[in-house]
């Protein structure tokens, strides 16, 4: 597995070796041993999958406290712009985001450590999105930041009139609200 750095420490793009022939392809998408050799030690406990259509923007979501989650995300079919925002107070990249194109064709994955808000925009007619989490989902620990907050400066490549949000995501608080009552602080471990 190849690890590609992003401008935000801890956030990493992963590329698996792909073996293709006339029958199709094979790739290993997860190996604890391989990830540990890259410095990623998350112990994944839950897998999730979603199906969304063009224009859907999901996020920006995070889990706080003991339910904070590291994630390993990928696209099985279609294309998304995947975005992670650093919420770790004290981090030199606090409030900054990284955006990565994930597609069923490029088969890239994004590792998102604890302490980040996460979301994505569907760029294809439909997209099947899958991710691993290292903590179980707990609704009482859920938090969000508004994906359209101008302070974050995220360039969502969906025309304004074609963007679709859940009502919960549309009402998500501004980043300024998070700054007033942050839940993640930089530690020696990174989150």
Check if 61 is active-site: yes
pLDDT tens readout for residues 43-85: 999 999 999 999 999 999 999 999 999 999 999 999 999 999 9
13 lies in some domain: no
Give Cβ neighbours of residue 146 (< 8 Å, ≥ 6 apart).
60, 169, 172, 173, 174, 175
Tell if the pTM clears 0.75, that is, is over it: yes
From 54, 61, 97, 137, active-site residue: 61
Check if 97 is active-site: no
85 lies in some domain: yes
The Cβ-side half-sphere exposure at 13, using a 13 Å CA radius, reads 18
63 lies in some domain: yes
25 lies in some domain: no
Compute the distance between CA of residue 53 and CA of residue 86 in angstroms, rounded to an integer.
27
154 lies in some domain: yes
1 lies in some domain: no
The boundaries of the domain holding residue 111 are 43-185
36 lies in some domain: no
CATH of the domain at 83: 2.60.120.10
Number of domains in the chain: 1
Give Cβ neighbours of residue 135 (< 8 Å, ≥ 6 apart).
45, 46, 63, 66, 67, 68, 69, 70
Other residues' Cβ atoms within 10 Å of the Cβ of residue 24: 7
pLDDT tens readout for residues 101-159: 999 999 999 999 999 999 999 999 999 999 999 999 999 999 999 999 999 999 999 99
- Is residue 102 packed enough to be buried (19+ CB in 10 Å), middle (13-18) or exposed (0-12)? buried
C-alpha to C-alpha distances, 175 to 6, 122, 135, 156, nearest whole angstrom: 22, 22, 24, 16
From 62, 97, 118, 131, active-site residue: 131
In this predicted structure, what is the pLDDT of residue 48? Answer: 96
Band (30; pLDDT cuts 50, 70, 90): confident
In this predicted structure, what is the pLDDT of residue 64? Answer: 94
56 lies in some domain: yes
In this predicted structure, what is the pLDDT of residue 18? Answer: 85
The secondary element (H helix, E strand) that includes residue 77 is strand 71-77
């Amino acid at each position: 597995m190849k690890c590609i750095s992003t401008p935000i420490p801890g956030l990493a793009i992963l590329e698996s070796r792909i073996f293709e022939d006339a029958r199709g392809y094979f790739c290993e998408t997860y190996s604890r041993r391989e990830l540990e050799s890259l410095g990623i030690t998350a112990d994944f406990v839950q897998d999730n999958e979603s199906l969304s259509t063009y224009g859907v923007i999901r996020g920006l979501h995070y889990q706080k406290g003991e339910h904070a989650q590291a994630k390993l995300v990928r696209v099985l079919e279609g294309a998304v712009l995947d975005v992670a925002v650093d919420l770790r107070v004290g981090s030199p990249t606090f409030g900054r985001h990284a955006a990565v194109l994930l597609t069923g064709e490029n088969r890239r994955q994004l590792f998102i450590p604890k302490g980040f808000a996460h979301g994505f925009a569907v760029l294809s007619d439909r997209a099947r999105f899958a991710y691993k989490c290292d903590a179980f989902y707990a609704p009482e620990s859920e938090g969000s930041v508004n994906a359209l907050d101008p302070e974050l400066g995220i360039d969502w490549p969906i025309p304004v009139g074609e963007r679709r949000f859940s009502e919960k995501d549309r009402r998500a608080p501004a980043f300024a609200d998070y700054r007033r009552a942050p839940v993640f602080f930089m530690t020696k471990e990174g989150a």
